[in-house]
Structure 1
Amino acid sequence: MTLLVCPLSQVDAAVTLHRPSHMVSLLSPSSPPESWPAPDGEHLRLAFHDIAAPRDGLVAPNAEQVADLLAFTARWDAARPLLVHCWAGVSRSTAAALIIACQRAPGRAEAEIARALRLAAPYATPNPLMVALADEMLGRSGRLIAAVAAIGRGAETFEGALFEVPLA
């Protein structure tokens, strides 16, 4: 079972190397249609800005989108990789990866999952609003929020790299 994360600039290379059966694209609502990948296989497109709280003029992640993410990834049979990407591969995609890892391992400690994410991607800074919405939906009782707070902000970077999130 392979869960991959990358920035938009590395999606083509990730698809060529790993042939994912499922892809989650997390881009801004203003992203031009040609910037959204068109992969073979299942594809979920979610459009919202990378913000931690609602702000005038911007689209915040919402409960319906997180529910769509959870429903989509629940259908992934894990026979081939799932690829998650956002613009930079730092915040929205790492939050989604953390959420998926928690969904796939309901008995695994949130702090352990968050530390594994940080080890795989030192720059990972999961979007806190996405994490808070998922914490409630997954019944994690604030533990997922606390785990992300414990790892803190990731290292400064312009853009992330392709990495794998450990699911076990």
Structure 2
Amino acid sequence: MPTILVSPLSKIAEVAARNGVTEMISLIAEKQDFHRPGIIDPGRHLNLAVNDIAFAGGDGLIGPAEAHVRAIVDFARAWDRDRPLLVHCWMGVSRSPAAALIAALAVDPELDEDRLVKRLRDASPQASPNSRLVELGDNVLDRSGNLVRAVKAIGRGRDYEGDAPFALEW
């Protein structure tokens, strides 16, 4: 069963080691430093400089763009699904859940958006996928507005209650 692990930055080393993860997508602000866990293959680490905003950017902020989504799609399609894929952002609540949905639909286009998003909500009551990433992902993956609609249907996640990695499985 394919598994995408979604984590806040503070837990990536623990999540990677515990689950034998060797591939990772990072969605972190441009000048935010962090160390890639040693178990992650440097050639299989996608590091995207993007802020957690729902607009194109400006004033020093980098908003999610189509190029970010295309990079997530390409990376996911090359993912060795024998091991989990780790996706993280600062808190594991907005950018990384959106990227996990995009990655899952990229590798399995037959997935039903409503079921996938429900699995995300069941796995993480606090997930609130970044709306701009979701919209761009819907467009890049030709989902005809279904991903946007499904994410809107689950609504905003509950208030953040701390570091809570979770698994999106299908």
TM-score, length basis structure 2: 0.92
2:36 aligned residue = 37
State the match for 1:106 in structure 2: 109
Go from structure 1 to structure 2 and tell me whether the alpha carbon gap of 1:159 and 1:92 turns closer, same or farther (over 3 Å shift). farther
Q: Deviations over 1:120-144 (max 9, x none)?
A: 0000000010011110111100010
Q: 1:53: which partner in 2?
A: 55
How far apart are the structure 1 equivalents of 2:162 and 2:64? 21
Identity %: 41
Cα-Cα RMSD = 1.3
CA distance in 2, matches of 1:36, 1:59: 21
Q: How many residues align?
A: 165
Q: Output the CA distance in 2 between the equivalents of 1:165 and 1:120.
A: 7
Distance 2:113 2:52 in 1: 22
TM-score (norm 1): 0.93
Given candidates 59, 73, 80, the residue that maps to 1:70 is 73
Q: Which structure 2 segments of 5+ residues have no match?
A: none
Deviation at 1:81, TM superposition (A): 1.3
Gaps of 5+ in 1: none
Answer with 101-110 or 89-98: which moved more. Answer: 101-110
1:147 aligns with 2:150: yes
Matched ranges for 1:115-130 at <5 A: 115-130=118-133
Native 8 Å contact 1:7 1:159 kept in 2: no
Q: How far apart are residue 102 of structure 1 and its match?
A: 1.6
